[in-house]
């Protein structure tokens, strides 16, 4: 987890512009660097480093003697960098995983380079010999990237939008700041004055297609028949592979553990593999919640079962309410369910940073979207409708759950790893017949649960535990976290403000006082930037006015709670 920032063609003083890069210093607490580009005095890179791999040579922009004309700033991890080195006989100068981008680009060009990367990444690559600038982002947008482009060709790029909002430029029309689309790369011609012109914008991978790098994966060809036992075996194999490749780190690994199915599977597999790989420390797991929270109780059962060093972080509604403003600043969104769920994740990340030495944090994001885990999937009118919505959710992850997971951990200088969003695992799961992926016998994610049945990896009662939204499960069954929030905010926003909500906020107008307050805080930090959120996250196929699963007519508390 690092913070990257770059300018191409700035007319303003670079030393003034560079202060904007300090807005993302939280992403890289270990070191930072600003560097001008030789021959282009109005172009520069900024980098905030969190050292995870190659502590000696990991500073950026990364440059190697073999390619003196290439400058690379990237945030992410490339899990197959050693496999690609062996396959193509690359001569590495450092142990930095990102060095593989330079060799792939030199050998194959940008399109093949991007498609061969197995990992999570956002990159800025400059080729001064051919005067090109390249931007790219991983399939699900696990690593963030924002782009600011003025009419005159001044380009600014940053891991988070807050590093761009105060950039100054000479054009009269305001420059838009937009999230860079996941799974795409963009090519710019670099003019002699440092300005750029976009010449190509192309998708290099989508979630339904097997990734090009599968050819060089340690898991070789899987049996392609859709017999139930074969499918379940393949799911287990690919999931184990997804966790194993993410063990790449020189810093201590930990895991968020809510006690739900997804985080429990990740934690259990992580514990199993850490023993096989003989990691020199115990794996710490972390849960957050009130004393009578169903999540906390379930997490303790899992931790005891798998033998992790478990930390339970106490959560009170008062502490949560106090954190909301900071959370919205880090998130750069006002989406209701994202803000609610982020408060707990932000506070548990704060605890991890302050009280432990775990830095690389595994989590269960992506599973609900991939395996149709939300309760509303029970109401899908057909298997095809469910499958289509699953793909829609995966494509929108960068606006919602993945955004939450990145910003809340990065706020405290932690690095997130999400095995359920492994390219091969997701492509395989989405290739299965639509009927296999639907809820069955009244249980969502049935196929995933069934794949791990009888292995004693996690307790049976957790394997079959009903979906509970993270933000709901932090508090007791009697009163959800969103109820506390709504009660508190009822007195903060008045009725006359709500009556004028549509005029005050014409884009995504808030329908509740809670939503109004989030929007108000967002506008305080990022005035006029409401378009960053295209729409609120809401369940489909069911009459819903609130995103919480506990408000749905189909919600039933788990019988084990």
As beta bridge partners, residue 148 has 156, 177
Per DSSP, the residues of 234-297 read HHHHHHHHHHHHTT--SSEEEEE--SSHHHHHHHHHHHHHHHHTT-SSPPEEEEEE-TT-HHHH
Tokens of 385: 């409708």
Look-up of token digits 């992926």: 437
| Residue 364 annotated as part of some ligand binding site | yes
Residue 401 burial (CB < 10 Å; 0-12/13-18/19+)?
Answer: buried
Nearest C-alpha neighbor of 231 from the set 41, 432, 387:
432
Task: Say if strands 309-314 and 196-203 run parallel, antiparallel, or are unpaired.
Answer: unpaired
Q: CA–CA separation, 60 vs 45, rounded Å?
A: 9
Burial class (CB in 10 A: 0-12, 13-18, 19+), 404: buried
From the list 142, 145, 126, 122, the residue with the least C-alpha distance to 134 is 126
Cβ 476 vs Cβ 294: under 8 Å:
yes
Q: Return the H-helix or E-strand segment holding 317.
A: helix 317-331
Distance, C-alpha 312 to centroid of its chain: 23
User: What three-state secondary structure class fits 279?
Assistant: coil
Catalytic residue among 2, 43, 73, 158: 2
- Residue 288, marked binder: yes
CA-closest candidate to residue 473, choices 560, 397, 403 = 560
Residue 363 assigned to a binding site: yes
Q: In the annotation, is 2 catalytic?
A: yes
Residues facing residue 225 across a β-bridge: none
DSSP string, 342-361: HHHHHHHHHHHHHH--EEEE
CA angle in degrees (0–180, nearest 5) for 454-457-458? 100
Place of tokens 């999230």: 179
Residue 425 parent element (H or E): helix 423-431
> Cα–Cα distance between 413 and 39 in angstroms, integer?
34
User: Is 98 annotated to bind ligand?
Assistant: no
For CA atoms 37, 43, 46, 52, give the dihedral sign: negative
d(CA 351, CA 288): 10
Q: What residues are designated binding site for L-glutamine?
A: 97
Q: What residues are designated binding site for ATP?
A: 256, 288, 363-364
Q: What residues are designated binding site?
A: 97, 256, 288, 363-364
Query: Which residues are part of the catalytic machinery?
Result: 2
């Amino acid at each position: 987890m690092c913070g990257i920032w770059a300018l191409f063609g700035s007319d303003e003083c670079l030393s003034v512009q560079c202060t904007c890069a300090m807005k993302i210093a939280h992403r890289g607490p270990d070191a930072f660097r600003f560097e001008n580009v030789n021959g282009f005095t109005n172009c520069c890179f900024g980098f905030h480093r969190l050292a995870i791999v190659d502590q000696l040579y990991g500073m950026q922009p990364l440059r190697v003697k073999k390619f003196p004309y290439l400058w690379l700033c990237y945030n992410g991890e490339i899990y197959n960098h050693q496999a690609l080195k062996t396959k193509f006989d690359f001569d590495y100068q450092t142990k930095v995983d990102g060095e593989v981008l330079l060799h792939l680009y030199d050998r194959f060009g940008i399109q093949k380079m991007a498609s061969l990367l197995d990992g999570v990444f956002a990159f800025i690559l400059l080729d001064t010999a051919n005067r090109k600038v390249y931007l790219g982002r991983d399939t699900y947008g696990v690593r963030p990237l924002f782009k600011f482009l003025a009419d005159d060709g001044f380009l600014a790029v940053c891991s988070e939008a807050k590093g761009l909002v105060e950039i100054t430029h000479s054009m009269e029309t305001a420059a838009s700041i937009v999230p860079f689309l996941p799974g795409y790369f963009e090519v710019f011609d670099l003019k002699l004055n440092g300005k750029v012109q976009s010449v190509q914008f192309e998708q290099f991978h989508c979630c339904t297609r097997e990734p090009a790098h599968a050819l060089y994966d340690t898991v070789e060809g899987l049996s392609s028949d859709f017999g139930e036992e074969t499918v379940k075996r393949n799911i287990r194999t690919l999931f184990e592979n997804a966790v194993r490749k993410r063990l790449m780190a020189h810093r201590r690994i930990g895991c968020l553990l809510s006690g739900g199915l997804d985080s429990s599977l990740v934690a259990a597999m992580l514990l199993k593999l850490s023993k096989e790989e003989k990691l020199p420390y115990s794996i710490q797991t972390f849960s957050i919640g009130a004393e009578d929270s169903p999540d906390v109780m379930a997490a303790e059962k899992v931790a005891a079962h798998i033998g992790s060093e478990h930390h339970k972080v106490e959560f009170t509604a008062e502490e949560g309410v106090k954190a909301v403003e900071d959370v919205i600043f880090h998130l750069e969104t006002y989406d209701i369910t994202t803000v609610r769920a982020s408060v707990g994740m932000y506070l548990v990340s704060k605890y991890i940073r302050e009280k432990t030495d775990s830095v690389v944090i595994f989590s269960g994001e992506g599973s609900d979207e991939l395996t149709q885990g939300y309760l509303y999937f029970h109401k899908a009118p057909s298997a095809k409708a469910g499958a289509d919505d699953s793909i829609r959710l995966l494509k929108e992850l960068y606006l919602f759950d993945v955004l939450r997971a990145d910003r809340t951990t990065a706020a405290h200088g932690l690095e997130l790893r999400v095995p359920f969003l492994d390219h091969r695992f997701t492509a395989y799961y989405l290739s299965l017949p639509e009927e296999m992926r639907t809820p069955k016998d009244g249980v969502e994610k049935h196929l995933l649960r069934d794949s791990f049945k009888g292995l004693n990896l996690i307790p049976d009662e957790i394997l079959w535990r009903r979906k509970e939204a993270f933000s709901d499960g932090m508090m007791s069954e009697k009163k959800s976290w969103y109820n506390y929030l709504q009660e508190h905010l009822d007195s903060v926003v008045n009725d006359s403000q709500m009556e004028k909500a549509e005029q005050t906020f014409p884009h995504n107008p808030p329908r509740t006082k809670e939503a109004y307050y989030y929007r108000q805080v967002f506008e305080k930090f990022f005035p006029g930037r409401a378009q960053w959120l295209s729409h609120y996250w809401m369940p489909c196929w069911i009459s819903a006015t609130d995103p919480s699963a506990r408000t749905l007519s189909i919600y039933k508390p788990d019988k084990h709670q």
